[in-house]
Amino acid sequence: MKNDKLIKIIFYLKDNWHEYLTESLWGKLLSEDTYTIDNIPFFTLDVSCGDVVKIITKDNQHFFHSLLKRSEHSTYRIVIKNNISDNIVSDLLNNLKLLGCDYEKGVNNMYAIDVGKNVEVKKLYSLLEDGEKKDYWDFEEGCFQH
């Protein structure tokens, strides 16, 4: 029988380019205190979708304790500049899909990108770098596992 119990796992954030102190990610139950990350991190560093983590539960809240196994997925973040046309953003999102990436849209023109282990990361990086050179967006690597 498949167990699809999802919980929110709280991660304390270390960098401060944003205003958030924590980020919560969905975790899919594997065992009592072990979960698979089930969405793409926007701010949490060094964790990607599919990674296996151990949690600690305190006062009915679930906190990240440690990384147990990497998924071989990488995570990138893009912040689209305010003056960029919808067509350019649409082209970017279509190209991400063509490369085999998944993405989630966040606040303030931000996208989190999940780069599966079979994606040619050099092609993705070239696409992201090209858009940054054209001043369409800024991007950063949140977790590299390729």
Q: What is the pLDDT of residues 29-72, one digit of tens each?
A: 999 899 999 999 999 999 999 999 999 999 999 999 999 999 99
What are the structural domain ranges in the chain?
6-69, 74-143
Strands 61-69 vs 6-12: parallel, antiparallel or unpaired? parallel
Q: What is the pLDDT of residue 1?
A: 37
| Residue among 93, 97, 81, 85 nearest 138 (CA) | 81
A 10 A CB-CB count for 64 gives: 22
Q: What is the pLDDT of residue 56?
A: 97
Topology of the domain covering 74-143? Alpha-Beta Plaits (3.30.70)
pTM: 0.88
CA distance 105 to 96: 13
List, for residues 69-84, the tens digit of each pLDDT value. Answer: 999 999 999 999 999 9
Extended strands (E) in the chain: 6-12, 22-31, 34-37, 52-58, 61-69, 74-80, 102-105, 110-115, 137-143
Amino acid, single-letter form, for residue 145: Q
> If you count them, how many residues does the chain have?
146
List, for residues 81-120, the tens digit of each pLDDT value. Answer: 999 999 999 999 999 999 999 999 998 899 999 999 999 9
